[in-house]
Structure 1
Amino acid sequence: MSETRKENRQIKFRVSEQEFKQLEAAAASVGMTVPAFAKSKVKGKRLKSPRIEREGALEIARQLRYYNSNLNQMVRWVNTNKKLYRFDELKGMEHQLEGIRKGLDELWEQLSR
């Protein structure tokens, strides 16, 4: 079975333990693997450390999924119950949407720091 890869050439080289630790630390600081980091450096790309650590990014992604799920549930409910809504139902939906908007604003502020 032949491999079909976008890049079909492979380069192998050896480094000392100290050099590998340096590469590993540099790659981790920008959220990359050692091979991807080395390839980016060879291509002359300027790499910057991410503004937020991995755990923080995972938490933000979890919160985004939560807000997305809430919004999807609201839209599904509205589309399923096609009717004229009472004032209290509309106020409830408005309250939910405001909560989602505030949550997204807070996430945006975290990312903007």
Structure 2
Amino acid sequence: MSETRKENRQIKFRVSEQEFQQLETSAASVGMTVPAFAKSKVQGKRIKSPRVEREGALEIARQLRYYNSNLNQLVKWININKDLRPESDLKGMEQQLDGIRKGIEELWEQLSR
């Protein structure tokens, strides 16, 4: 069975342990694998450090999943209870939406720094 790949040529080369460590350190600093880093360098691409380190990005993704879950639960409740919207429910939904909006704005500020 043949593989279908965008790039069909493969290059293999050897480096010393020290050279590999340097490549690994450089790649990790920009959040890339060694092969992806080496390919980008050969292609002359400008490699920038990410604005958010990996752990920070994972935390932001976790928080976004939390807000997404809350929003989905709210929309599901609204769809199930289409005819039941007492004033107290509307105020509660507005508070939930406001909390979600504020949380997402805080995450956006973290990414914009």
Q: TM-score, normalised by structure 2?
A: 0.95
C-alpha distance in structure 1 between counterparts of 2:101 and 2:3, whole Å: 47
Structure 2: gaps of 5 or more residues? none
| Correspondence for 2:107 | 107
| Correspondence for 2:24 | 24
C-alpha distance in structure 1 between counterparts of 2:65 and 2:18, whole Å: 40
**Aligned pairs for 1:27-106 within 5 A:** 27-106=27-106
State the 1:56 CA deviation: 0.7
| Correspondence for 1:6 | 6
What is the letter of the counterpart of residue 101 of structure 2? Answer: R
SS at the partner of 1:102?
A: helix
CA deviation vs aligned residue, 1:15-47 (integer Å, no higher than 9, x gap): 111111111111001100000001111111100
What is the letter of the counterpart of residue 55 of structure 2? Answer: E
CA deviation vs aligned residue, 1:51-91 (integer Å, no higher than 9, x gap): 11111100000000000000011111111111151111100
SS at the partner of 1:46?
A: coil
Identity of aligned residues (%): 82
C-alpha distance in structure 2 between counterparts of 1:101 and 1:3, whole Å: 45
RMSD: 1.0
C-alpha distance in structure 2 between counterparts of 1:51 and 1:103, whole Å: 19
Q: TM-score, normalised by structure 1?
A: 0.95
**Displaced runs of 4+ in structure 1, greater than 2 A?**
1-4
What is the letter of the counterpart of residue 75 of structure 2? Answer: V
